[in-house]
Structure 1
Amino acid sequence: MPERNKQFGLYGARGTKGHEAVARQLDALAGYIATPVTARRGLLARLRYLTRTDHARHRAREAGLTVTDRTLKAWLDGTRSPSRANLERIEQAYRTVRRENVARYLFARLNREGRGTRVEIHPINQSQVDRPRQRAVEYRTLNVRHWDRIVRAWAVGDDQGLDDAWVDQIVDLGSQWGQYEYVTNVGFAA
């Protein structure tokens, strides 16, 4: 696309890709368990979430948690503790399954029966850029009506798909949409 930045940060501008900020916001809306997996309480909460039904167990196995039922029971009972590698697998499986479960809810909530959700886009931080090289970039709002591709890419962890879906939405900002490829923050609520 012609507006894509090729050398972002060359003159000192700071920010993150817009789709990464959107993913952060969707993660916040997903409502993950706050207690870390390394704490007993956080481990038990994640294991209960991943093992409460046969469907959840199946999704956890697909997401990479491939231990036996006997091992899971020992972890839940507290007779054994998972290794550091297994803790990472538990966390990854939990986040994957949680994203899949929350995605259906977010589709409906963000699309709001075709009305969409207002998104606030905060521009890049140009405080470290020399004055003659600074762009006039302002805070913008946009009403995103079609969240399906964005949420679907976020749910499966497709970074490139999320970037493409996000760019398809910010093109609605007009001829200067490329100035919002990198941002300080993207905010919306569901």
Structure 2
Amino acid sequence: MPERNIEFGKFGARGLKGHEAVARRLDALAGFVATPVTARRGLLARLHYLTRTDHAREAAREAGLTVTDRTLKAWLDGRRSPNRRNLERIETAYRTVRRHNVARYLLARLNREGRGTRVEFHPLNQSQVDRPRQRVITYRTLNVRHWDRIVEAWVAQDDAALDEAWISDAVVDLGSEWGQYEYVSNVGFAA
């Protein structure tokens, strides 16, 4: 695509890719457990989420949590604690299963039966850029009506697909200035 930034930050601009900001916002909307997995309460919350039904157990196994039922029971009863590698697997499986479970709900809320969701684009931070090199970039809003590919890429945790979907389904609709919003300080929307 033509206006892709090749050397972002060369003159001191700061920000993050728009699709990364969208992924963060979708993660916030997914409502992950706030307590870290290293705390007993956080570990139990994740394990209960991953083991409450047979469907959840199967999804956890597909997501990479491949321990025996006996080991899971020992963790839940507090007789044993998972090692660091298993804690990482539990966290990864939990986030994967949670994303998959809330995707349909989020998609319905974001698409709103074709009405879409209002998205706020907060421009990148140019405070460290020399005055003659600064561009005039304003705060913009846009109503994004098609979230299917964006949410699908978020669920799959595919950054390249999320970037492509975000640019082609949302940012390009900003008009000829869309390249200025490839990097942002924040992207805001609610569902």
Distance in 1, Cα, partners of 2:42 & 2:136: 46
Q: Which residue of 2 aligns with 1:182?
A: 183
Distance in 1, Cα, partners of 2:184 & 2:95: 25
Task: Give the 4+ runs in structure 1 shifted more than 4 A.
Answer: none
Q: Which residue of 2 aligns with 1:4?
A: 4
Deviation at 1:56, TM superposition (A): 0.4
Q: Which residue of 1 aligns with 2:24?
A: 24
**Which consecutive unaligned segments of at least 5 residues does structure 1 have?**
none
Residue identity in the other structure for 1:145: R
Indicate yes or no: 2:126 matched with 1:126. yes
Distance in 1, Cα, partners of 2:152 & 2:106: 10
Distance in 1, Cα, partners of 2:162 & 2:106: 15
**Which consecutive unaligned segments of at least 5 residues does structure 2 have?**
none
Percent sequence identity over aligned pairs: 82
Q: Which residue of 1 aligns with 2:107?
A: 107
Distance in 1, Cα, partners of 2:91 & 2:76: 15
Q: Which residue of 2 aligns with 1:171?
A: 172
Q: Which residue of 2 aligns with 1:154?
A: 154
- Deviation string for 1:101-126 (max 9, x for gaps)? 01010110000000000000000000
Deviation at 1:6, TM superposition (A): 0.4
Q: How many residues align?
A: 190
When the two chains are superposed, the root-mean-square deviation of aligned CA atoms in Å is 0.4
Q: Which residue of 1 aligns with 2:81?
A: 81
Distance in 2, Cα, partners of 1:68 & 1:97: 18
State the TM-score, normalizing by the size of structure 1: 0.99
- Deviation string for 1:155-179 (max 9, x for gaps)? 1101000000000111000001000
Distance in 2, Cα, partners of 1:156 & 1:69: 26
Q: Which residue of 2 aligns with 1:95?
A: 95
